[in-house]
Amino acid sequence: FDKLDKAVAAAVEMRLGGELVSEAQRMLSLLRAQREAESRLKEAILARDVARLESAVANAAQVSLGGDVIAEAQRLLALLRAQQSAATALSSALHSNDADRLRHALEQARQSGLNTGLVQ
């Protein structure tokens, strides 16, 4: 990355033109965007925040970022969404006083890995 950055900067400074320099500039711009997207993904993963993960995953897709980090972010996002859904179902079931709904909600919470202290 650094070598490409220096080479493009040198070509621009020497006022070299042409398709090769333009392509190198586009590639460098894409690499920068992908680097930033990967950084945002890592931060969102550490924060375990659904909104940040959604935004970071969408941004990564826009810059065609692939690899392990986006896969990890997508898995975590799916897990957190499942846990949110389970927490909502559990709260609703608790307020309904319906034993079947509560059993179903507890099972959903267990399957999602939700840890509320209520799920055993």
If one compares 7 and 65, the residue with the highest pLDDT of the two is 65
pTM score: 0.72
Report the 10 Å Cβ neighbour count for 54: 15
Residue type, 58: A
Checking if the pLDDT of 119 tops 70, the result is: no
From 55, 48, 39, select the one nearest 75 (Cα to Cα). Answer: 48
Mean pLDDT of 10-35: 78
Instruction: Give the percent of the chain with pLDDT over 70.
Output: 81
From 106, 74, 80, 81, select the one nearest 93 (Cα to Cα). Answer: 106
- The pLDDT assigned to 17 comes to 65
pLDDT in tens, 73-118: 999 999 999 999 998 998 899 899 888 888 898 888 888 888 766 5
Mean pLDDT computed over every residue of the chain: 86
- The pLDDT assigned to 106 comes to 87
